[in-house]
Chains A and B, each alone.
Chain A
Amino acid sequence: MAQDPPPGSIVTPDWHRCAESKDFFDRIMHKKKRKQFGLLESPMMAPHVAVNTVHYKVLLSGKSGVGKTSLAARLAGLSIPNMHYETTGIETIVLYWPVKLKENGRVLFFRLQLWDCGENALRRFDHLLPSCKEQVDAVLFLFSFTDRTSFDDLPNQIARWSEPSDRVVKMVVGTKFDLFMHSDVTQREVMQFQERQGLPVLRTGAEASDGLGDVAYFLNCLAERLWHQDCMAATLDSCPTHYREGALI
């Protein structure tokens, strides 16, 4: 397995705070909110600024109610549903995120498609899981700080993805961290788990905010690992990476 890059070693952390990034982040914003892109759209830069877009498929995994749908909405800057409606099939969300590579100062747009599938639907319909797994680049394993069983179930979830041939970025996400008063899972347990599994654990919570700060750390971490995985793969067998021209319409 590829060794993990230390956070901040590949992409510029907090780049969204730098003045030079404004032109790029403006492309993913609309009236101070994140812009929503249909499948035919992508961020449009001025013609002389050539920016490559890299495409990745990211699967959200975890039991019903842990907050998969909410996390996808949060990362894409969509309004977070306050009701829990069971997701009764696969729903995907597309988001764009500009990243600056430390190595050479190059800027890339990451196009992340987050795949979210309800657990009950997975159980009832056999065709959904293979579809989720098809050409997946990363899996986020979710547990909720307010649901002990979701934490205890993590090793099972991760085990489903243990084939060594898998070239998949794996990360663990603890949701509902804002409800830590009602937490069922202690920080120590999370630390121990992190060491044992060798997987990074990110935390999210529902504090209301419309800025980018809320998701920047998360998305940069994810982008960094995806990029790292691609670079490793490219050096191993020079397989094609995820480059694709950002089609401009």
Chain B
Amino acid sequence: MLQDGSTQILCLTANSGVPLFTRGASKQLPFSVIGSLNGVHMFGDGQGVVLSSSQTDCGGRVVWRVFHDSVMLIAVNGGHRSGGAVKGHVKGEELFLERLLENVWNCMVLVLGRDELTNTRNVERLKKDLRSCFGLIDQLLEDGRQGIMGNLTHCADCLLPPNPALVQEAVNGFTQSVDSEFGCLVVHGCIAAATEKWWRLAPQEVVLLSALTRMLSASGSASCDYPVFLPQGSPTVAHRLLRFQLLPGADVCVLCGPAPSLHKAQSDLVRQFWSPLAETLRDCLAVGERCLPGTVALRVPDVLALLVVNREARRSVSCVRASADDSPAPPSTPRCWELLRLFYIFAATRYFGQEEAPVSGAAPSEEKAHSRSSSSGDFVAGFSHQPLQCYLVTEECKCYGLQTQQHQLFLLTPLSVPTFALRNVATQTLSAVTADTGF
């Protein structure tokens, strides 16, 4: 039906099944298939059943979800992905697709606002308007391939700068100067510093705004003034996202009201606040894809890839091949990212369970109930206690998951690390990342 492993998003009107758009996968599903996917959901509806997910015998998976009785999103994932042992537990795939649908809906709200999506008087017009969301939706689909985990974890991808106090101060000062409380500095697509209020946005919003910044930054533009609706906090009133590229790869963003104008903020304030920090910003850029400052010492040859989640703050850092002497031994870097995602899905759904942070503001309770219901693991349900650690040995790498009150660590090591040593490597890695940085 679809190419190996590719995911396609279908969007239709909920009540009449008119196709609105499709994204992802180079080859579109035939119209008849789209019609059937919608039809089978409608059939269930007529019987008082909500069809939320289904699986083909070759590992393909379909997930349905209706948003606000107005828009239906369907995610279709072609099976046969070369996932090896990690992929063996298909159950987790559902979590990924459900979050994807939620993210896509949030993209649509962010660009168009909820009213535009729910009061559809003219389907043709809606179809046309929805095109403005494609850039962001495609960015989201693309992100997974580039080492961005936030759309999966709903935790903000962070970069830990070598001199956090300096950049924090600059972000706070600059944000204040544009009459806002919401500001953040994005380096290499990850958040290097943000104001307190920025961190109090819903985690999905933080993730989405990061994706938007990556998209705008990738186009090479110097500054932007983007109207954005906040899916949780302000779905019907647009705010302005101002973004300034300080250096290529380092962007500062603020959410603000009608003033100041882009021209004014840029010509008066950007240089004033950031010129003195040019060198500091270069140091942040030098951290690169490692996302961790040089002071964090990892047991280099033993760490293929890692993801550390701060559970309470809903932030994460991740990197692949943190070593400087990049050994060409397989698996390749892109493959490591894929394995890290798969292991996260595996461990998070099967053992750790995922927590959604309490959503601030008035999210419809119907939605909250939904996101909890389907993906909590069968395994966990059978036990009275919470697993704290888990490991997995595959043909490509070894994986270790570790959970504390505050953090979760997902670690990949080469096969050469003895299995009995994994726990040791994991504990050391976690404390190396968190101890000095205060992450």
CA distance A78 to B222 in the complex (A): 12
CA distance A39 to B224 in the complex (A): 12
B244: Cβ under 8 A from any A Cβ: yes
Chain B proximity of A27: nearest CB distance (Å): 16
Tell me whether A91 and B261 are in contact (CB under 8 A). no
For A30-44 the 0/1 string (1 means CB < 8 A from B) is: 000000111111000
Q: A86 touches which one: B132, B221, B250, B266 (CB < 8 A)? A: B132
A92: Cβ under 8 A from any B Cβ: yes
CA distance A249 to B263 in the complex (A): 22
Chain B proximity of A192: nearest CB distance (Å): 33
Tell me whether A88 and B111 are in contact (CB under 8 A). yes
Query: Quick one: given A81-B219, A92-B224, A93-B222, are A131 and B247 in contact (CB under 8 Å)?
Result: no
Query: Quick one: given A38-B248, A40-B275, are A89 and B220 in contact (CB under 8 Å)?
Result: no
Tell me whether A88 and B275 are in contact (CB under 8 A). no
Tell me whether A128 and B225 are in contact (CB under 8 A). yes
Tell me whether B131 and A73 are in contact (CB under 8 A). no
The number of A-B residue pairs with CB atoms under 8 Å apart is 99
Tell me whether A91 and B219 are in contact (CB under 8 A). yes
Query: Quick one: given A127-B258, A131-B262, are A40 and B223 in contact (CB under 8 Å)?
Result: no
B238: Cβ under 8 A from any A Cβ: yes
Query: Quick one: given A38-B245, A38-B250, A40-B246, are A94 and B222 in contact (CB under 8 Å)?
Result: yes
CB under 8 Å from chain B, chain A span 1-46: 36-41
CA distance A127 to B271 in the complex (A): 24
Tell me whether A76 and B278 are in contact (CB under 8 A). no
CB under 8 Å from chain A, chain B span 197-253: 216, 219-227, 238, 240-241, 244-248, 250
A side interface size, CB within 8 A: 37
Q: B131 touches which one: A86, A94, A125 (CB < 8 A)? A: A86
B274: Cβ under 8 A from any A Cβ: yes
B135: Cβ under 8 A from any A Cβ: yes
CB under 8 Å from chain B, chain A span 223-245: none
Tell me whether A125 and B245 are in contact (CB under 8 A). no
Tell me whether A39 and B271 are in contact (CB under 8 A). yes
B439: Cβ under 8 A from any A Cβ: no
- B223 cross-chain contacts in A, Cβ below 8 A: 39, 91-92
Tell me whether B262 and A40 are in contact (CB under 8 A). no
For B263-283 the 0/1 string (1 means CB < 8 A from A) is: 110100011001100100100
Interface of A is mostly: loop
Interface size range of chain B in the complex: 35 or more
Query: Quick one: given A90-B226, A90-B262, A93-B221, are A40 and B111 in contact (CB under 8 Å)?
Result: no
Give the nearest-CB partner of A116 in chain B. B221
Tell me whether B222 and A113 are in contact (CB under 8 A). yes
CB under 8 Å from chain B, chain A span 75-110: 76, 78-79, 81, 83, 85-86, 88-94
Give the nearest-CB partner of B277 in chain A. A40
Tell me whether B263 and A124 are in contact (CB under 8 A). no
Interface residues of A, Cβ cutoff 8 Å to B: 36-41, 57, 69, 73, 76, 78-79, 81, 83, 85-86, 88-94, 113, 118, 120-121, 124-125, 127-128, 130-131, 134-135, 247, 249
7 shortest interchain CB distances as A-B pairs: A89-B226, A85-B135, A38-B247, A94-B222, A86-B132, A90-B225, A78-B220
Identify 13 new A-B residue pairs, CB closer than 8 A, beyond the known A38-B250, A125-B238: A39-B244, A39-B266, A88-B226, A88-B227, A90-B262, A93-B220, A94-B222, A120-B132, A121-B227, A128-B225, A128-B227, A131-B262, A135-B263
Please, could you name 28 A-B residue pairs with CB atoms under 8 Å apart, sorted by A? A38-B222, A38-B245, A38-B248, A39-B270, A39-B274, A40-B246, A40-B275, A40-B278, A40-B281, A81-B219, A86-B131, A86-B135, A88-B226, A89-B224, A89-B225, A90-B226, A90-B262, A91-B216, A91-B223, A92-B221, A92-B223, A113-B222, A125-B238, A127-B240, A131-B225, A131-B262, A134-B261, A135-B263
